[in-house]
Amino acid sequence: MAYKDTYAAWQADPEGFWMEAAKAIDWDREPSRALFDENAPIYEWFSDGLVNTCYNAVDRHVEGGRADQTAIIYDSPVTGAKARISYGELQEKVARLAGALVARGVTKGDRVIIYMPMVPEALVAMLAVTRIGAIHSVVFGGFAANELAVRIDDATPKAVIAASCGIEPGRVVPYKPLLDGAIDLASHKPEFCIILQREQQPAELTEGRDFDWHEVQDGVEPAPCVPVEGNHPVYVLYTSGTTGQPKGVIRHTGGHLVALNWTMKAIYGMEPGDVYWAASDVGWVVGHSYICYGPLIHGNTTVVFEGKPVGTPDAGTFWRMIEEYKIRALFTAPTAFRAIKREDPAGELVKKYDLSSLQTLFLAGERSDPDTIHWARDQLGVPVIDHWWQTETGWAISAIPVGLGLLPVKIGSPGVPMPGYDVRVLDDDGQELPAGELGAIVIKLPLPPGTLPNLWNAEDRYRKSYLDHFPGYYETGDAGYMDEDGYLYIMARTDDVINVAGHRLSTGAMEEVLASHPDVAECAVIGVADQLKGQLPLGFLCMNAGAGRDAAEVVGEVVKLVREKIGPVAAFKLAVVVERLPKTRSGKILRGTMGAIADGRDWKMPATIDDPAILDEITEALKTLGYPKG
């Protein structure tokens, strides 16, 4: 069925639509209905079904004749390692690790934190946790000990599964000291840790608390799949909000299975057996949905790539991967393509490889700029599809669904709403805006299966962050508009979240770190446009009167502090000391105006500004950092 008919079919009978999609999942007990709206505006899907995620992602394929098909391709240009794991082998590995968890007392509902780089064992760990009905929370390796500690305290895990180290180009990142530091900092103490020792830097294990990945599995009984209720959480994934306390996005088992399975064909055009590569990291939602779960649930071959688009060893790595593994769909962030294009603008490396297997390139995670889309399309000769979603939704809100008859692509737009999403654009008063007018993008409740039903331990925050502002709608936090043909355009965030190299970061969290410096009296962090990473954080610092410190020294110290407290992934390297911050008469810092000055965009003097002269000082300070660019 083509897109228009499919969307109309969903509109006409949303529950029937999702019950039909649910038939593609192997349930231990079929759900009696799709939507559970008894606690609206908190909605659930398939709550009374019984089902297991790992069974659907692994075991059913082994039983159904795919035991010898490759489930996971591992390719690690940073270590030189390559491996293939079949569905049959994956089942064995997952059942054994699950057995080790059971033997150490992990049961249904317990949380397990996973802190691992891009190695296949990260997927094995995720699947082993879901196999026994426990709940995983994967933490991205680029986060520092403090961020890990915050997540340990919120998720209160019984166990942590980690690797001894990760590998970044040119350096080994020891994870174990970060893990030890996090456990020291956290008030909650996990009962035990399982550590995957990597030869690049094995770790010292803490006697009685830490167990070696292999030894802990010695002689244990492989664990069977534990069926759980459709509304049992499969995972919690923390994402940046307005403050330093991240939001724990919950995913429920039933809707997650149904929705992701549906997207693999409808959005990505995949048939079971096809090789699908999401070049992201398991620490992000893209990694959860499209490195681990989506492709495996659908019987595809997925790719775990431990490298970067450039420098490992060169800007031809992605093309080498496509040729070597006959990849049919590639999904990555626009930043990756900007990095490749910068190194190989004429596409000399593209020409060296046979890319005939590739059908489509998908981009998401940040706004796709037209230059990058044109370059990618010209070089690869395949449709380039921008699609828009969030950690909260777990799958695309809007896209050009390849499996539903390819609609025309409009450059600059991440496509049209997917079935399940009734997208509207509202003004500040909650009135719907006509086509072409910029406003807050919202989704009429209920959200579809596979999206967040709530935040972990934080229902009030869930309501406040997403539901209260526009009753009856989910507030995406993105601003933009819809054109006459129903295509969406995502223009900016409406909160303090910025997007750095496709990574979602909170300027509020960075401000909390800057403010903790003893010489900083006041501060503000904004996102400034960057040609490679989309945005970069930039900090303004006001020093305490009489601090008597050298400004450059303090800047150096706060840069170091953000790296230590949040992690290298924050990419916080720009800061400047100013006398005062521009504010409204009621004391609100004018971050938006400072951002416009830094980017060289047109801006209007805010009517409520307290002292306009401060903006001249900000303009001068930005010039010292080379902003605006060009």
Q: What are phi and psi of 163, to 5 degrees?
A: -105, 160
Binding to ligand COA, residues 104-123 (CB under 6 A): 117
Give the pairing type, strands 439-444 and 423-426: antiparallel
Contact set for ligand AMP, span 337-356 (CB under 6 A): none
If one counts every other C-beta atom within 10 angstroms of the C-beta of residue 557, the result is 16
- Site for ligand AMP contains 366 (CB under 6 A): yes
Contact between residue 296 and residue 495 where contact means Cβ atoms under 8 Å apart: no
For ligand AMP, give the closer residue by CB, 234 or 500: 500
Among candidate residues 103, 116, 110, the one with its CA nearest the CA of residue 218: 103
Per the structure block, which two tokens stand in for 290? 């499209």
SS3 of residue 480 by DSSP? strand
Binding of ligand AMP at residue 391 (CB under 6 A)?
A: yes
Contact positions with ligand COA (CB under 6 A) in 321-350: 332-333, 335-336, 339
Quote the strand ranges of 433-549, DSSP E.
Answer: 439-444, 473-482, 488-493, 497-500, 503-506, 520-530, 534-543
Distance CA(25)–CA(261), nearest Å, equals 8
294 binds ligand AMP (CB under 6 A): no
Helix, strand, coil share of the chain (percent; to 5): 35, 25, 45
Query: How far are the Cα atoms of 428, 457, 506 from residue 465, in angstroms, in the given order?
Result: 15, 14, 14
User: What burial class does residue 163 get, using C-beta atoms within 10 Å of its C-beta: 0-12 exposed, 13-18 middle, 19+ buried?
Assistant: buried
Q: How far apart are CA 16 and CA 419, in angstroms?
A: 12
414 binds ligand AMP (CB under 6 A): yes
Using CB under 6 A as the binding rule, whether residue 102 contacts ligand COA is answered as no
Token duo for residue 596: 């416009």
Nearer to ligand AMP, 367 or 565 (CB): 367
The CB density around residue 77, as the number of other CB atoms within 10 Å, is: 20
Near ligand AMP by CB under 6 A: residue from 493, 549, 563, 580: 493
DSSP letter (8 states) at residue 314: -
173 lies in the binding site for ligand COA (CB under 6 A): yes
Identity of the residue, 217 or 317, whose beta carbon is nearer to ligand COA in the bound complex? 317
Instruction: Out of 316, 365, 417, 450, point to the residue binding ligand AMP (CB under 6 A).
Output: 365
Q: Please report whether residue 307 would count as binding ligand AMP according to CB under 6 A.
A: no
Site string for ligand AMP, 237-266 (x = CB under 6 A): --x---------------------------
d(CA 408, CA 101): 49
Q: Is 527 in the site for ligand AMP (CB under 6 A)?
A: no
* Of 530 and 599, CB closest to ligand COA: 530
Q: Does 530 bind ligand AMP (CB under 6 A)?
A: no
Q: Which is nearer to ligand AMP, 77 or 527 (CB)?
A: 527
Q: State yes or no: residue 365 binds ligand COA (CB under 6 A).
A: yes
Binding mask 464-483 for ligand AMP (x = CB under 6 A): ------------xxx-----
Q: How far is the CB of 425 from ligand AMP (least distance, A)?
A: 15
- Answer for which of 27, 115, 319, 388 binds ligand AMP (CB under 6 A) is 388
Binds ligand COA (CB under 6 A): choice among 14, 31, 141, 453: 141
Name residues contacting ligand AMP, limited to 211-240 (CB under 6 A): 239
Helix (H, G, I), strand (E, B) or coil at 492: strand
- Return the one option of ligand AMP, ligand COA, none that residue 239 interacts with (CB less than 5 to 8 A, by type): ligand AMP
Closest contact distance (angstroms) between CB of 478 and ligand COA is: 16
| Beta-bridge partner residues of 386 | 363
Q: Is 310 helix (H, G, I), strand (E, B) or coil?
A: coil
Instruction: Give min distance, CB of 500 to ligand COA, in A.
Output: 6
Residue 497 binds to ligand COA (criterion: CB under 6 A): no
Of 239 and 301, which has the nearer Cβ to ligand AMP? 239
Q: Which of 527, 530, 521, 528 is nearest to 579 (CA)?
A: 521
Please give the Cα distance from 249 to 462 (Å, whole number).
9
Selected from 102, 569, 574, 594, the binder of ligand COA by CB under 6 A is 569
Among ligand AMP, ligand COA, none, what does residue 142 contact (CB within 5–8 Å per kind)?
ligand COA
> Strand 247-252's sheet: what is its strand order?
210-212, 192-196, 159-163, 111-115, 135-138, 233-239, 247-252
DSSP state of 134: -
Interface pattern 267-306 for ligand COA (x via CB under 6 A):
-------------xx--x-x--------------------
Pairing of strands 574-577, 534-543: parallel
Crossing angle (nearest 10°) for helices 507-515 and 551-565: 120
Residue 386: which of ligand COA, ligand AMP, none does it interact with, CB under 5 to 8 A by kind?
ligand AMP
Sole binder of ligand AMP in the list 47, 289, 312, 499 (CB under 6 A)? 499
**Cα R_g (the chain), whole angstroms:** 24
The nearest distance, CB 365 to ligand AMP, in angstroms, is: 5
Q: How far is the CB of 140 from ligand COA (least distance, A)?
A: 6
Strand, helix or coil at 190?
coil
* The one segment of 1-9, 386-394, 460-468, 567-575 that binds ligand COA by CB under 6 A: 567-575
How many whole angstroms separate alpha carbon 121 and alpha carbon 118?
8
Backbone torsions φ then ψ of 441, nearest 5 degrees? -90, 125
Q: How far is the CB of 386 from ligand COA (least distance, A)?
A: 12
Chain contacts with ligand COA (rule: CB under 6 A): 117, 141-142, 166, 168, 173, 280-281, 284, 286, 308-310, 332-333, 335-336, 339, 365, 501-503, 568-569, 571
Chain contacts with ligand AMP (rule: CB under 6 A): 239, 285, 364-367, 386-391, 414, 476-478, 490, 493, 499, 504
